[in-house]
Amino acid sequence: MTKKKPLVVVTRKLPEAIETRMMELFDARLNIDDAIMTKQELIDAVKEADVLVPTVTDKIDAAVLAHAGPNLRLIANFGTGVDHVDLQTARSRGITVTNTPDVLTEDTADMTMALILSVSRRLAEGERLIRKGDWAGWGPTLMLGHRIWGKRLGIVGMGRIGRALARRAKGFGLSVHYHNRRRVHSDIEEELDATYWESLDQMLAHVDVVSVNCPHTPATYHLLSARRLKLMQPHAILVNTARGEIVDEPALTRMLSDGEIAGAGLDVFEHEPAVNPKLLELQNAVLLPHMGSATIEGRVDMGEKVLINIKTFVDGHTPPDRVIEGLL
């Protein structure tokens, strides 16, 4: 007797090669139109799915999971961050949750470095000047930015992405400083020539560039609060490629507008896809549509991890990228 394939509901469109393999292995219900699913659609999905494959745009909270059917035993997240999934409720309902770590590290670090350069050297402003037809030719004081060589970079969160950024920063002549929940091993500090700051407040007051690279958790919500942002030097810039909720966005917007912080490069926003209209008006803010991990290679690698996690789980084994295991 042929074993019935598990019903796998995928909430967004994935790379074609991944969707093809998904359909070969499972009874896959795909989102061909790539429309963000409504709460009711998510509820309908968890009622009948054996496996749910959500992304960061799907809020899988307690209200959604309350409707989960008895067959739902795995949430195989397409992405590293799982702050959009209520892990406690999932665990209590016996639902295992997996993610896709490691594959986005280099891509996100690349984008972080690009934003540091873009804000410091006013690249986006210069590009807009050309497109508007307002460039009248080279001038000795035109579009003056700041060199990054010799400056201090403060990394908030020295995980995989933070360390990958530190390696890049060294090549650009930045001195690396970091704050982390736990100090990293001395071998890593030596490799990266990184200085540890136990006090985030003190680090913010002494660096020229602040990069947010920690996960969003209840403990890191508004970690960079209005009070902490005020500790930054007026010439300093802030870059965030982690999660928008980590930074007090209204406070940051006010300080950018008032010149209390020199600039910001943001790939994430507190209420995305909504963006604070006041941010849109600022010339000293480079704004990107959450594309830090958006490479073809990265998306395919993510999809392959999802496939492996599902296949391993369905075959009765512990998936390699388990975040939590259901208790039931």
Within 120-262, strands assigned E span 152-156, 175-179, 194-196, 209-212, 237-240
* Overall number of domains in the chain: 2
Distance between start and end Cα atoms, the chain: 28
Give me the pLDDT at residue 324, please: 77
- With a pLDDT cut of 90, the percent of the chain lying above it is 97
| Predicted structure pTM score | 0.89
Q: Within this chain, do residues 111 and 61 fall inside the same structural domain, yes or no? A: no
For residues 69 and 49, give the distance between their C-alpha atoms in angstroms, rounded to a whole number. 7
10 forms beta bridges with 53
16-45 tens-digit pLDDT: 999 999 999 999 999 999 999 999 999 999
Q: Choosing from 12, 93, 179, 243, which is the catalytic residue?
A: 243
Q: Within this chain, do residues 256 and 121 fall inside the same structural domain, yes or no? A: yes
Q: Within this chain, do residues 94 and 180 fall inside the same structural domain, yes or no? A: no
Q: Phi and psi dihedrals of 95, rounded to 5?
A: -105, 125
Q: Within this chain, do residues 206 and 233 fall inside the same structural domain, yes or no? A: yes
Q: Choosing from 189, 272, 304, 325, which is the catalytic residue?
A: 272
For residues 224 and 245, give the distance between their C-alpha atoms in angstroms, rounded to a whole number. 9
163-180 tens-digit pLDDT: 999 999 999 999 999 999
pLDDT of residue 64 exceeding 70, the answer is: yes
Residue 1 within any structural domain of the chain? no
Give me the pLDDT at residue 100, please: 96
Q: Within this chain, do residues 281 and 152 fall inside the same structural domain, yes or no? A: yes
Range of the domain at 85: 7-102+296-324
Cα separations (Å) of 262 from 43, 175, 204, 257, 285?
Answer: 44, 19, 14, 9, 9
Residue 245 within any structural domain of the chain? yes
Catalytic residue list contains 131: no
CATH number for the domain that contains residue 232: 3.40.50.720
Give me the pLDDT at residue 326, please: 61
SS3 160: helix
Q: Within this chain, do residues 117 and 194 fall inside the same structural domain, yes or no? A: yes
Contact present, 308 and 315 (Cβ < 8 Å) = no
Give me the pLDDT at residue 1, please: 44
pLDDT of residue 158 exceeding 80, the answer is: yes
What angle separates helix 105-120 from helix 160-171, to the nearest 10 degrees? 50
Of 231 and 81, which is predicted with more confidence?
231
Q: How many CB atoms lie within 10 A of CB 150?
A: 10
Q: Within this chain, do residues 32 and 130 fall inside the same structural domain, yes or no? A: no
Q: DSSP labels for 89-151?
A: HHHHTT-EEE---STTHHHHHHHHHHHHHHHHTTHHHHHHHHHTT------TTTT-----TTP
Identify the band that residue 204 occupies on the pLDDT scale cut at 50, 70 and 90.
very high
Q: Within this chain, do residues 143 and 260 fall inside the same structural domain, yes or no? A: yes
pLDDT of residue 328 exceeding 70, the answer is: no
- What average pLDDT does the chain have? 96
291-313 tens-digit pLDDT: 999 999 999 999 999 999 999 99
Residue 53 within any structural domain of the chain? yes
Closest by CA to 233, choosing from 195, 200, 259, is 259
Q: Choosing from 29, 146, 290, 322, which is the catalytic residue?
A: 290
Catalytic residue list contains 243: yes
Within the chain, strands assigned E span 7-10, 27-29, 51-53, 74-76, 96-98, 152-156, 175-179, 194-196, 209-212, 237-240, 263-266, 285-287, 322-324
Cα separations (Å) of 314 from 5, 51, 198, 307?
Answer: 9, 9, 44, 11
178-195 tens-digit pLDDT: 999 999 999 999 999 999
pLDDT of residue 76 exceeding 80, the answer is: yes
Give me the pLDDT at residue 2, please: 55
Q: Within this chain, do residues 140 and 236 fall inside the same structural domain, yes or no? A: yes
Residue 170 within any structural domain of the chain? yes
Q: Within this chain, do residues 118 and 97 fall inside the same structural domain, yes or no? A: no
Query: For the residues 201-222, what does the mean pLDDT come to?
Result: 96
Retrieve residue 194's tokens: 């990184």
Catalytic residue list contains 272: yes
Q: Within this chain, do residues 38 and 132 fall inside the same structural domain, yes or no? A: no
Query: For the residues 64-83, what does the mean pLDDT come to?
Result: 96
Residue 2 within any structural domain of the chain? no
Residue 42 within any structural domain of the chain? yes
Q: Within this chain, do residues 29 and 43 fall inside the same structural domain, yes or no? A: yes
- With a pLDDT cut of 70, the percent of the chain lying above it is 98
